[in-house]
Amino acid sequence: MAETERKVFRYKCSSCDEWHEGAPSFAFDAPHYYEMLSLEARDQHAHLDSDFCIIDRLPDDAGADYFIRCLLEIPIRDADEPFLWGVWSSVSEKNFRHYEERFDKPPEPGVDYFGWFSNNLPGYPPTLSLKCRVLPQDGARPLLDLQATDHPLSVHYHHGISMDEALLIAEKAMHGGKDG
């Protein structure tokens, strides 16, 4: 199909029988590790807002874990827009602090941060701890760049997915739970 013949992602969901239009987009409000904490542990050992999360390791451990909210774009072949995931990446404290200090400023050319993917996406084998790079953007959440591996999410990220694959994953995300 020629580039000019790309189309809007539109489908009738087999689970809810509704028509949906536009590329699928799903987001996680928190990293998986925050979600696994009890409410008491969240109150005592974690801070979460719409862009940042810090989890103090529970009393037996030292230090803390640092997370940045990011966007993962999966190209949909023959569609105008990518499949978007709002996800979290863990980063080092040093990189977290650097990003946090520059949050409202244009990104520094060539600066990115090593991270570990910190959510499990529906429709995929476990995605926790996939290696990635956090790529700051001017005026938007940073993009995630997944390391090339044979994991299906990495394959989709680097090579795109068909509309049928995107439909199956979107239905799983809408009707099958987000973290499983």
Helix, strand, coil in percent for the chain, rounding step 5: 25, 35, 40
Question: What is the pLDDT at residue 168?
Answer: 85
Is pLDDT larger for residue 22 or for residue 142?
142
Which segments within the chain are labelled E, that is strand?
10-12, 19-21, 25-27, 46-48, 52-56, 64-74, 83-91, 113-117, 131-137, 140-146
pTM of the shown model: 0.85
Please determine, for residue 6, whether its predicted confidence score (pLDDT) is greater than 60. no
pLDDT in tens, 7-66: 666 666 555 666 656 677 899 999 999 999 999 999 999 999 999 999 987 666 678 999
Q: What is the mean pLDDT of residues 108-112?
A: 92
Grade residue 177 by pLDDT with cuts at 50, 70 and 90.
very low
Please determine, for residue 152, whether its predicted confidence score (pLDDT) is greater than 90. yes
Q: Rounded mean pLDDT of the chain? A: 87
Q: What is the mean pLDDT of residues 73-84?
A: 90
Q: What percentage of the chain carries pLDDT values higher than 70?
A: 81
Nearest 5 degrees, angle CA 27-CA 79-CA 6? 155
Please determine, for residue 2, whether its predicted confidence score (pLDDT) is greater than 60. no
Q: Three-state SS for 153? A: helix
